[in-house]
Amino acid sequence: MRPARPHEGLPVLLQAILTLREQREQEARRHYARKLQAVESAQRSLAVTGRELQHLAEEHQFRLRHGAQSQDLRYLDIYRHTLNDRLTRLQQELAAARKAAERAWLALVQATQDRQALDHYRQKRRRAYDYAVACDAQRLLDDFAARAPTLAGAWRQPADPETSYPT
C-alpha cells in the first residue's frame, strides 16, 4: 500500500501556493525598499533646505553687520519665507514617506509570515509523508522476512547429497 502524497486531498498544489506567496513576499520587499528610498530622499531634501536656510540666516546677519540696503534685506526675508514654506512642506512629505514605509514594512512582515506558515505546513506534510514511506518500507521488509527463509536458516539445513560436492 502506497502512502498518500503530501499534496493529495488538497484542492491546489502547495508548491504553487508557496511560489505565489514567495513572489508576493519579494514584491513586498521591493515595495518596502522603494519606500525607504523615498524616506531617504525626503531626508536629504530636508537637510539641503535646512542648510540653505542656515546659510541664508548667516548671510542676513553678515549684511546687517556690514550695512546692507533695505531692498537687499527685504529680498533675503522673502527668500527666507520661501525656504520656511519649503521646509514645512518637506517635513510633511517626510512624515508621509515614513508612514508609507511603515505600512510597507507591515505588509512585508505579513507576506513573510504567510509564506513561512505555508512553508511550515508543507514541511510538516513532507515529514509525515516521509514517515509513512519509511513505515511502508519497513512493513514490506518485515513481510519479506516473515515469508522467506533467512540465510542463516538455509545454511543450517542439511545439504542435499546429490547436489553436494563429490568426495
Question: What's the 3-state SS for 8-20?
Answer: CCCCCCHHHHHHH
If you average pLDDT over every residue of the chain, what do you get?
85
The domain total for the chain is 1
Residue 84 forms part of a structural domain: yes
Residue 107 forms part of a structural domain: yes
Range of the domain at 48: 14-113
- What's the pTM value of the predicted model, to 2 decimals? 0.67
For residue 150 the three cell numbers come to: 533467512
What number of H helices and E strands is found in the chain? Answer: 3, 0
Tell me how far the alpha carbon of residue 92 is from its chain's centroid.
Answer: 30
| Confidence band for 145, pLDDT divided at 50, 70 and 90 | confident
Residue 166 forms part of a structural domain: no
More confident residue, 143 or 10: 143
Residue 132 forms part of a structural domain: no
Other Cβ atoms closer than 10 A to 88: 11
CA–CA gap between residue 111 and residue 23 (Å, rounded): 9
Residue 62 forms part of a structural domain: yes
For residue 43, the domain's CATH number is 1.10.287.1700
CA–CA gap between residue 55 and residue 124 (Å, rounded): 63
> Cβ contacts of residue 122 below 8 Å, gap of 6+?
6, 14, 15, 18
CA–CA gap between residue 162 and residue 94 (Å, rounded): 100
* Radius of gyration for the alpha carbons in the chain, expressed in angstroms and rounded: 39
User: Which residue, chain included where needed, has cell 512585508?
Assistant: 108
| pLDDT for 73 | 83
Q: Which of 53, 60, 59 is nearest to 81 (CA)?
A: 53
Residue 38 forms part of a structural domain: yes
pLDDT tens across 84-134, in order? 999 999 999 999 999 999 999 999 999 999 999 998 988 888 899 899 999
More confident residue, 72 or 110: 110
| pLDDT for 55 | 93
Residue 81 forms part of a structural domain: yes
Alpha-carbon distances, residue 21 vs 15, 35, 122, 146 (angstroms): 10, 21, 13, 48
